[in-house]
Amino acid sequence: MGRSKSRLAWLGAWSAVLLLAAMFLGASGSASAAKPGRAPAASLGAKSGITIHAALARPAAPTVVLYDQYNNQANFDVTSQDFEPSNDPLDSFAADDFVVPGGQTWTIQQVDVDGEYNSGAGPAASFHAHFYANVGAELPGALIGDALASSYTGSNGDASITLSTPVTLGAGTYWVSVQARQDFTPFGQWLWQNRSVQSNASAAWQNPGGGFDVGCTTWGRKLTCIPSQVGPDQTFRLSGIIPPPPPSPPSPPPPVIRCVVPRVIGLRLRQARTRIRARHCSVGRIRRARSRRVGRVLAQSPRPGRRLARGSRVNLVVGRR
Ligand SMILES: [Ca+2]
Ligand SMILES: [Ca+2]
């Protein structure tokens, strides 16, 4: 390790540069943050040079594209990598934001990123995809989903990552950070392709271990943390499913209608019948009894106020001459 190793890494890069002509030459110098004496020498980012951006395949149903800013490649990229332990101070995270529309819930299963290898041919061992809430300053906040060591397909640094842990999010603004889990020795560096068009807030970046000596040991704006960077956003696409809304709760059963026995003593029989039916009871047996109160109800059974099954009978005694 040490200076000789770092020089070897850069020699490897230069041999590729010679093949790719002058366009690439300018790039290598501009973006390098090689630290003499720090081994290996990882860079903060680089001009991507001649890159063919292959069109992505559409996911198969029921998986759908949830969010897509895999376009407008800036041909400049940024480091976002989980290195081997000896290079942990260089571990860094780039992140970009996206919005789940109101009324929707997404289960994100796949993240596609456009990337490149540098100072080595890769491949990444796996990718991490970290999901964060959005805080007021339009930067990543609390970690709310983490798909570590996710498998992927793709080549030359482009990766279609199947999340080891799908992430379900309701409406709102969120951030996703994609990191290659890749040892610098011997696989080199993975760089995430920048996007020349900004959607929502511009990308964020952090280097918690401070190994790049540029500050931003917590989240900052990428273009502020690394002024040599070109392109405000990152290229990525999210795929997954929009689960159907949960079934509405079953409607409550209709209220039980009961016969609540009315008081009908003293009423004329016709009035008594009407009132009894209005209270969901029925008129039962009618007995006649001599009385000066001819045609009026003298007694009733059951007594007023009883709550009985619908249609229960109310028996009456009615006066007669
Ligand atoms: Ca690491
Ligand atoms: Ca953005």
pLDDT at 4 over 70: no
Number of domains in the chain: 2
Kindly state whether residue 246 falls inside one of the protein's structural domains. Answer: no
Per-residue pLDDT, 248: 86
The predicted-structure confidence for 145-180, as pLDDT tens digits, reads as follows: 999 999 999 999 999 999 999 999 999 999 999 999
Q: Do 268 and 204 lie in a common domain?
A: no
SS3 label, residue 113: strand
Please give the structure tokens belonging to residue 69: 């800013």
Kindly state whether residue 140 falls inside one of the protein's structural domains. Answer: yes
36-50, 100-114, 272-286: which has the minimum mean pLDDT?
A: 36-50
Higher confidence at residue 131 or residue 10? 131
Kindly state whether residue 38 falls inside one of the protein's structural domains. Answer: no
Q: Do 157 and 204 lie in a common domain?
A: yes
Per-residue pLDDT, 72: 95
Per-residue pLDDT, 116: 95
Peptide bond into 304 cis (omega under 30): no
The predicted-structure confidence for 134-143, as pLDDT tens digits, reads as follows: 998 899 999 9
Residues lining ion ligand 1 (Cβ < 5 A) are 82-83, 88, 91
DSSP letters spanning 128-162: EEEEEEEETTTEEEEEEEEEEEEEEE-STT-EEEE
* C-alpha of 92 from chain center: 22
Domain residue limits at 142? 43-50+58-241
Q: Do 214 and 272 lie in a common domain?
A: no
DSSP letters spanning 23-80: HHHHHHHHH----TTSSS---SEEE--S---PPPPPPPTT-EEEEE----EEEEEEE-
Q: Do 230 and 287 lie in a common domain?
A: no
21-35, 76-90, 278-292: which has the minimum mean pLDDT?
A: 21-35
Q: Do 172 and 309 lie in a common domain?
A: no
Bridge pairing between strands 220-221 and 233-234: unpaired
Higher confidence at residue 36 or residue 232? 232
Would you place residue 211 in the very low, low, confident or very high pLDDT band (cuts 50, 70, 90)?
very high
What percent of the chain shows pLDDT beyond 70? 85
Peptide bond into 123 cis (omega under 30): yes
Q: Do 205 and 285 lie in a common domain?
A: no
Of 94, 76, 86, 91, nearest in space to 23 by CA: 76
Kindly state whether residue 315 falls inside one of the protein's structural domains. Answer: yes
- Distance in Å from the first CA to the final CA of the chain: 125
Kindly state whether residue 26 falls inside one of the protein's structural domains. Answer: no
CA 49 to ligand 2 centroid distance, Å: 23
Ligand (nearest to CA of 93): 1
**Residues ≥6 apart with Cβ < 8 Å to 307:** 258, 259, 260, 261
Report d(CA 42, CA 260) in Å as an integer: 86
Residue-averaged pLDDT of the chain:
87
Number of H helices, E strands in the chain: 5, 21
Ligand (nearest to CA of 223): 2
The predicted-structure confidence for 38-75, as pLDDT tens digits, reads as follows: 445 677 888 876 566 667 788 888 899 999 999 999 99
CA 202 to ligand 2 centroid distance, Å: 4
Q: Do 144 and 219 lie in a common domain?
A: yes
Core vs surface per residue 37-75: b (16+ CB within 10 A) or e: ebbbbbbbbbbbbebeeeebeebeeeeeebbebbeebbb
Ligand (nearest to CA of 87): 1
pLDDT at 19 over 50: no
CB of 205 closer than 8 Å to CB of 222? yes
Per-residue pLDDT, 41: 60
Q: Do 131 and 279 lie in a common domain?
A: no
Q: Residue 77's beta-bridge partner residues?
A: 46, 193
Does this model's pTM top 0.75? My answer is no
What percent of the chain shows pLDDT beyond 90? 75
Nearest-Å Rg of the Cα atoms of the chain is 38
pLDDT at 36 over 50: no
126-140, 192-206, 238-252: which has the minimum mean pLDDT?
A: 238-252
Per-residue pLDDT, 44: 85
Kindly state whether residue 215 falls inside one of the protein's structural domains. Answer: yes
CA 236 to ligand 2 centroid distance, Å: 10
Of 167, 165, 168, 130, nearest in space to 151 by CA: 165
Q: Do 119 and 183 lie in a common domain?
A: yes
pLDDT at 237 over 50: yes
pLDDT at 115 over 90: yes
CA 188 to ligand 1 centroid distance, Å: 13
